[in-house]
């Protein structure tokens, strides 16, 4: 029986999927099972996977009878976990060849840990723009001690974590949270289990136009962040943990994001109808939306925010983390 299961959820990304599978096949650790979870793709995904299976018996293909959504596909992973260790590789990312070897070694050296967490810097067009572990220290984190990082949305990248089977009961994602669903998973992980962190780079998180993070822009991202805050507060209150900070940006950071992702002042003006956002930030925020949606003010604010963002990205290009 394989010691590690590598799950690859996918949908209509056959070319990217091929690279993801190849990066798992090239792992220095060989006692693995690769499970592709196809969410009813209508491209040539099935043909490509079947060709690989003909030459590599470690690969298993599971195809849904219908599209159950990205969160539903991820949530189906739990029912297939049988090995001592498992990990999840999204179909548009790849591993460095020693990821699994490093993960097994780290967990064996730290037997109280239920997950080994590695560094996966974020890239755009091959350029590193940040590292989610930049503020972390290497070593063991007992339950609760890693929560402050996660509550500030400085959580690890899911793909570059190796988990023990014992965490399967919390390995699920809330559909209402969309692109923020992985944050809540990590909050549950850090609240209940010990983990071990290494800053060794074992892969990268590449942002591109079809990436779920890119899709969650402006109002969508902020709406999900407010839902996330409510769910997390309820969860942490239930387990008697009250030392948590806001899970969503301050009003000025949120306003900047809304301006950056909107295309016109009229679009910005329409956000006033988003009840969950206005109820959270209040009347002053609504008034600011009204003022900044005016054509000249909107154009000026947009230019300033774009320039600031470009300077910030340039800084990370020079000093990535």
> How many Å apart are CA 256 and CA 289, to the nearest integer?
11
Q: Return the ∠ at Cα 51 (arms to 50 and 57), rounded to 5°.
A: 75
Band (pLDDT 50/70/90 cuts) for residue 252 is confident
Q: How are beta strands 122-124 and 205-207 bridged, if at all? A: parallel
CATH topology of domain 4-212: Spore Coat Polysaccharide Biosynthesis Protein SpsA; Chain A (3.90.550)
> How many Å apart are CA 114 and CA 110, to the nearest integer?
9
Paired with 37 in beta bridges are 9, 62
In the chain, CATH 3.90.550.10 sits at 4-212
Band (pLDDT 50/70/90 cuts) for residue 114 is very high
> How many Å apart are CA 228 and CA 234, to the nearest integer?
10
Given a cut of 80, whether residue 249 has pLDDT beyond it is no
pLDDT at position 126 is 86
> For 225-251, what is the mean pLDDT?
86
Above pLDDT 90, what percent of the chain?
77
Given a cut of 50, whether residue 96 has pLDDT beyond it is yes
Q: How far is CA 9 from CA 62, 98, 320, in A?
A: 10, 21, 29
pLDDT at position 217 is 75
Q: How many CB atoms lie within 10 A of CB 235?
A: 15
Rounded to two decimals, the pTM is 0.88
Query: What is the tens place of the pLDDT at every residue in 41-91?
Result: 999 999 999 999 999 999 999 999 999 999 999 999 999 999 999 999 999
Band (pLDDT 50/70/90 cuts) for residue 167 is very high
pLDDT at position 315 is 46
Given a cut of 60, whether residue 213 has pLDDT beyond it is no
């Amino acid at each position: 029986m394989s010691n590690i299961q590598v799950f690859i959820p996918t949908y209509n990304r056959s070319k990217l999927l091929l690279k993801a599978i190849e990066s798992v096949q090239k792992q220095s650790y060989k006692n693995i099972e690769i499970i592709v979870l196809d969410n009813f793709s209508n491209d040539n995904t099935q043909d490509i996977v079947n060709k690989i299976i003909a030459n590599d018996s470690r690969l298993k293909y599971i195809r849904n009878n219908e599209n159950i959504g990205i969160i539903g596909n991820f949530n189906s992973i739990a029912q297939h976990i049988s090995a001592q260790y498992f990990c999840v590789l999204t179909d548009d990312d790849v591993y460095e060849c020693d990821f699994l070897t490093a993960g097994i070694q780290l967990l064996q050296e730290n037997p109280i840990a239920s997950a080994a967490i590695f560094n996966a810097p974020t890239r755009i067009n091959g350029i590193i723009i940040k590292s989610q572990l930049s503020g972390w220290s290497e070593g063991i984190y007992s339950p609760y001690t890693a929560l402050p990082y996660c509550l500030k949305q400085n959580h690890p990248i899911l793909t570059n974590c190796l988990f023990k089977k014992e965490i399967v009961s919390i390995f699920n994602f809330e559909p209402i949270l969309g692109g923020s669903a992985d944050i809540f998973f990590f909050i549950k992980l850090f609240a209940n289990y010990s983990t071990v962190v290494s800053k060794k780079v074992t892969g990268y998180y590449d942002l591109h136009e079809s990436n779920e993070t890119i899709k969650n822009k402006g109002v969508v991202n902020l709406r999900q962040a407010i839902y996330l805050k409510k769910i997390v507060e309820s969860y942490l209150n239930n387990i008697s943990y009250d030392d948590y900070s806001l899970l969503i940006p301050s009003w000025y950071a949120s306003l900047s994001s809304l301006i950056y992702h909107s295309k016109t002042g009229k679009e910005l003006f329409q956000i006033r109808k988003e009840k969950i956002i206005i109820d959270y930030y209040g009347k002053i925020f609504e008034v600011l939306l009204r003022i900044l949606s005016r054509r000249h003010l909107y154009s000026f604010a947009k230019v300033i925010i774009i320039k600031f963002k470009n300077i910030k990205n340039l800084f990370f290009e020079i000093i990535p983390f």
